[in-house]
Structure 1
Amino acid sequence: MLRTITIILLVRLSFHYSVAQDSHYWSSNYGPGGLMTPGATIADTKDSGVFFYNPALLAIRPKTALEFSGSLYQIESTRIIDALGKGKDLKSIAGGISPQMHSGSFKLKKNERLVLAYALINNYILSNRMNQRQDTKMNVLNDAYSPGSEYYIGQFSEVNQVSEISGVFSVGYKLSEKLYVGASLEAQVRRKTFDIEYSGRALLNQAVGAKPLLFPEFSNTEAVYRVDYTQLGLKPKIGFAYNQARHHVGLLATLPLMRVFSRGTLMTDYVVSNIRLAPTVEPINLLANTRQEKLTSNYKTPFSLAAGYSYDYGRGRFYLAAEYFARLKDYSIITPRNEYFIRSDTSGSSSTSTANSLKLKDVRKAVMNVAVGISFPVKPSVMGYVSIRTDFSYADEKSFADTGGYVAYTTNWNSYHAQLGANIRRPKFSFRPGLLLSYGTTNAFKPEVNFDTPKESNLLLGDPVNAKVNHVAIGLLLSYIHNL
């Protein structure tokens, strides 16, 4: 019986979604749907950039150039309406200046068919901070031992930060006047910091006539989960391009991320004190705490296949692209060691439940994103750009094998991105300013905590309900290309 109750408590405390914009593949501005970033296409668009998402495009117009796309001025807002109860919204606003890319290409004098290129990329993913609190008087404990309404305090706090820095080396080769091939290898360093803390507490009321206490008894539930990992991985790509008069076609295959090195740290603290799951049972008290260093992370990305098509009309181009991402089965990014966790345990759960309760897990459904763009002449030296793209979430809550652990992503809403700007060409350089807009929403986001309905049977954490999410981002991207 004790073991069953312990498992129930651990599952209730551990299974949680965080809140951020991190379950998408096409959020990056240098993906195949972002025309404002130089070279971010699958098919040839006669771009003046040197970083090509499809490395085969390097060989179409080989040149030696230095390109710096390093100024992204962005503000991003996420609001989850009534997330933790009526009027208890969760809000996150992040903004700042983020360097994006430094890249260059080199054509070889001895072999004009071969072009080499490199890129150093800083991929902004998220920097999320949210907190909320409930402090009110409500009836949360059984009147048999705490008559009337109690003072209830609920708190929630979350920090979720993810960043990626990549170094890319690419090779493009001209097979014929119409056919080109290329390959690239990306070395990616991913850093994630995730800290979530939530609690529910109620002060017990004394029976009528009882001697007053200096400090009243209270029931308490609190959970702290912190994980931090750094992972180095390699991601190969191979691409093809074919040009026929006004028609241009591209194909790109991206292989799954291969882990090279990783290191992670996890710390947790679970406390349940003076909680009665039923009025007739004895109060439950639980203390579980651990900290583990030198853990191995295993963050994965799936195989993807992208195709692009562009059509020349006069001096302008129409562009269409799509990318299919395969599904990922349920796996753990961080799996703790089965070390001592539940303190003063006599049921054997102190080690056997650690890994399943504290793992950081991931599962992804297959998705396909599409992009449409157009370039058009504004004046002889200025080309305008407009593009829109989908960014569907790969969140797949129903495919998890069990309810233990913490989910590495949180967003279950689809996002949509738009870009508009211009490329200003000069003999020695090109300057490209662009406006970036993003929007996502859902009515089916369900946090694990609700401060409107706390009671002992839900550990004073409430019964969650669906909430509405609005996510908006606006940014200014500045790109500069210098031709040597």
Structure 2
Amino acid sequence: MISFYRSLYTLCFCLIFSGQLMAQDANYWNSSFGPGGLLTPGATIVNDRDSGLYYYNPALIALHPKNSVSISTSVYQLGQYNIKNGVGMGKNLKSTGVQIIPLMVSGNLFFKGKKTIALGYSLVHDPVGNYQVTQRSDKKMNILDNSYSPGDENFVGQYAAHNKISNTIANGSLAVKLNENWSVGLTLEAKLRSQDYAEQYSARALINGDDTGNEILPMTNMQSSYQINYWNIGVRFKFGAAYEHGPHHLGVVITAPRLNIKGNGTITNDLIIDDLHAIPGSSLILNVLGNTRQSGLPIKYRDPFSIALGYGFDFGNGGEFFLTGEYFAKIGRYNIVNPQNTTFLRPDNESNRNLTNELLQFNEQRKSVTNFSIGIKQALSSKLIGYASLRTDFNYNDNGVTVDSDFNGHHPNTATWNTYHGQFGINVKRRKGNLHAGLLLSYGSTNRFVQPLNFDTANEENQLQGFASTTNAQYLSAGVLIGYIFNL
């Protein structure tokens, strides 16, 4: 009998914990500062002649060095997520937000001797995603078995989720100009990642009476709340090389996997099931109580090995063309946090404790992807330069979440679509520096997003969560970038 209840618990919890939420958080090239950007100062791995910048490719710092250069860049961004019929027909999940993002501050120094040596530093803030939604369903429908609750029941379902992720990256670089054509560089990158993830939902149906006139009806209730917040500090190294000869420019950046330094996380989870007929037509009634809070948990977060290649060509009249690609290796399944097998389900016994890690774990796995970008820079006058670039931002999520998938843990990255970015802007040359300004656009969509819940088909068989189906999801973002490069 114990093994039967354990199997029943596991079956129910696999359904109960199979929900998901999303943000633009499973894409490597979502940041404007990277090899796929062009408008953001320094966001290229081949020369773009804006001397003195802190470049994504450290080798470029020494190519055309200049002392005491600082970059201050801000993005004013509007982003919107829209999941059509997210938890039922007409029950869309929408998230809209406006952010003012201080993106970058940097500077560098160079020393000229037999070899030109340059030192650089930067502080970059990258708000990966901020997704917040709520939705509710209130209707009369046939939820419970007619053998004990005939007719349509009063049903109320409610859903809320948020997922906020940000990265703050500090870089220090050393670059050496070997000769007129070659330079090499090394960057030590320290990254602080933080995430606040939560999903809460409840589903309740009043059990119909027996025509006795009793106005206080019993209730079948299922509610769950899962929340994790954590921070993690890690470091990784980047090696860069740059070559230029006449109108041709080449660049390569090799990035090592992330080395974890320290992290800390807290998980809270609450679960209640009241008077649920777990097996239709059976007299077996399921009542479950689960509650836990685990703090001080060590955090492990991974970034993969990657290699980026770029080519630039000067086509005359102040024009330059750029083509860049970056390959990211796959990452096998791993746990970002491993919850302890302590008390969660009641009664507190060994069988229930052995389920705690399985039900609370937070994990991910990533497939290998390759992104590409194309850009152009054109002198419009002696003081005005125009920029335009397009880049892919392919999704790396590989957790296999489908309509019929079994529960395999909670995942931080559940966006299921590719995103595409465009940048269009100008650079105004000033006596003491350069002013960058432009428009940033992003768009992504899919018709295979798996609903976290579907209140339209809620019944006892699916623990009042409904049978999830695929639906359309869309992300759209527009922002204005303003940056100033100051040369002393």
Distance of 1:390 and 1:84 partners within structure 2:
30
Cα deviation digits, residues 265-297 of structure 1 (max 9, x gap):
000011111111222231100111110010011
Structure 1 residue 175: Cα displacement = 1.3
Provide the secondary structure at the position in 2 that maps to 1:108: strand
Write the mapping of 1:433-448 to structure 2, written as runs, cut at 5 A: 433-448=437-452
Structure 1 residue 406: Cα displacement = 0.6
Cα deviation digits, residues 383-434 of structure 1 (max 9, x gap):
1000000000011133999723211111110000000001111221100101
Flag the 1:14–1:349 CA change in 2: closer, same or farther, 3 A: farther
Is the contact made by 2:51 and 2:65 (CA closer than 8 Å) also made in structure 1?
no
Counterpart in 1 of 2:219? 218
The question of 1:273 aligning with 2:274 is answered yes
Counterpart in 1 of 2:360? 358
Is the contact made by 1:358 and 1:404 (CA closer than 8 Å) also made in structure 2?
no
Flag the 1:35–1:14 CA change in 2: closer, same or farther, 3 A: same
Counterpart in 2 of 1:51? 54
Structure 1 residue 349: Cα displacement = 2.7
Distance of 1:182 and 1:336 partners within structure 2:
40
- Which of 39, 45, 48 is residue 42 of structure 2 equivalent to? 39
Write the mapping of 1:289-308 to structure 2, written as runs, cut at 5 A: 289-308=291-310
Is the contact made by 1:198 and 1:224 (CA closer than 8 Å) also made in structure 2?
yes
Distance of 1:253 and 1:19 partners within structure 2:
30
Is the contact made by 1:342 and 1:349 (CA closer than 8 Å) also made in structure 2?
no
- Which of 152, 176, 179 is residue 176 of structure 1 equivalent to? 179
Distance of 1:206 and 1:306 partners within structure 2:
67
Counterpart in 1 of 2:487? 483
Cα deviation digits, residues 233-289 of structure 1 (max 9, x gap):
102100111111111111111111111010000000111111112222311001111
Counterpart amino acid of 2:161? E
Counterpart amino acid of 1:70? T
Counterpart in 1 of 2:407? 403
Is the contact made by 1:160 and 1:194 (CA closer than 8 Å) also made in structure 2?
yes
Is the contact made by 1:390 and 1:417 (CA closer than 8 Å) also made in structure 2?
yes
Flag the 1:178–1:330 CA change in 2: closer, same or farther, 3 A: same
Counterpart in 2 of 1:284? 286
Structure 1 residue 51: Cα displacement = 1.6
Cα deviation digits, residues 419-460 of structure 1 (max 9, x gap):
000111122110010100000000000023001100001000
User: Once structures 1 and 2 are overlaid, which stretch shifts more, 130-139 or 8-17?
Assistant: 8-17
Structure 1 residue 23: Cα displacement = 0.4
Provide the secondary structure at the position in 2 that maps to 1:457: helix
Distance of 1:187 and 1:81 partners within structure 2:
38
TM-score, normalised via structure 2 length: 0.96
Is the contact made by 2:401 and 2:450 (CA closer than 8 Å) also made in structure 1?
no
Provide the secondary structure at the position in 2 that maps to 1:350: helix
Distance of 2:286 and 2:52 partners within structure 1:
64
Distance of 2:348 and 2:176 partners within structure 1:
64
Is the contact made by 1:230 and 1:264 (CA closer than 8 Å) also made in structure 2?
yes
Provide the secondary structure at the position in 2 that maps to 1:56: helix
Write the mapping of 1:278-427 to structure 2, written as runs, cut at 5 A: 278-314=280-316, 315-345=318-348, 348-398=350-400, 403-427=407-431
**Structure 1 gaps, min length 5:** none
Provide the secondary structure at the position in 2 that maps to 1:87: coil
Distance of 1:111 and 1:90 partners within structure 2:
61
Distance of 1:405 and 1:364 partners within structure 2:
15
4+ aligned runs moved over 2 Å, structure 1: 65-70, 109-112, 397-404
Distance of 2:394 and 2:337 partners within structure 1:
25
Provide the secondary structure at the position in 2 that maps to 1:267: strand
Distance of 2:52 and 2:380 partners within structure 1:
19
Distance of 2:114 and 2:189 partners within structure 1:
24
Counterpart amino acid of 1:420? F
Distance of 1:229 and 1:96 partners within structure 2:
22
Counterpart in 2 of 1:461? 465
Write the mapping of 1:89-104 to structure 2, written as runs, cut at 5 A: 89-104=92-107
Distance of 1:109 and 1:309 partners within structure 2:
27
Distance of 1:327 and 1:291 partners within structure 2:
32
Is the contact made by 1:121 and 1:167 (CA closer than 8 Å) also made in structure 2?
yes
Counterpart in 2 of 1:201? 204
Give the aligned CA root-mean-square deviation in angstroms. 1.5
Counterpart in 2 of 1:474? 478
**Structure 2 gaps, min length 5:** none
Distance of 2:225 and 2:95 partners within structure 1:
20
Matched residues, number: 481
Cα deviation digits, residues 281-328 of structure 1 (max 9, x gap):
311001111100100111111110100000001111000000000011
Is the contact made by 1:253 and 1:306 (CA closer than 8 Å) also made in structure 2?
yes
User: Once structures 1 and 2 are overlaid, which stretch shifts more, 430-439 or 112-121?
Assistant: 112-121
Distance of 1:310 and 1:374 partners within structure 2:
9
Is the contact made by 1:330 and 1:399 (CA closer than 8 Å) also made in structure 2?
no
Distance of 1:112 and 1:134 partners within structure 2:
69
Distance of 1:427 and 1:174 partners within structure 2:
27
The question of 1:83 aligning with 2:86 is answered yes
Flag the 1:451–1:252 CA change in 2: closer, same or farther, 3 A: same
Structure 1 residue 345: Cα displacement = 4.6
Provide the secondary structure at the position in 2 that maps to 1:356: helix
Counterpart amino acid of 1:218? M
Write the mapping of 1:256-271 to structure 2, written as runs, cut at 5 A: 256-271=257-272
Counterpart in 2 of 1:233? 234
Distance of 1:99 and 1:221 partners within structure 2:
43
Distance of 1:403 and 1:196 partners within structure 2:
15
Write the mapping of 1:112-191 to structure 2, written as runs, cut at 5 A: 113-191=116-194
Counterpart in 1 of 2:453? 449
Counterpart amino acid of 1:394? Y
Is the contact made by 1:15 and 1:407 (CA closer than 8 Å) also made in structure 2?
no
Counterpart amino acid of 2:266? T
TM-score, normalised via structure 1 length: 0.97
Provide the secondary structure at the position in 1 that maps to 2:456: coil
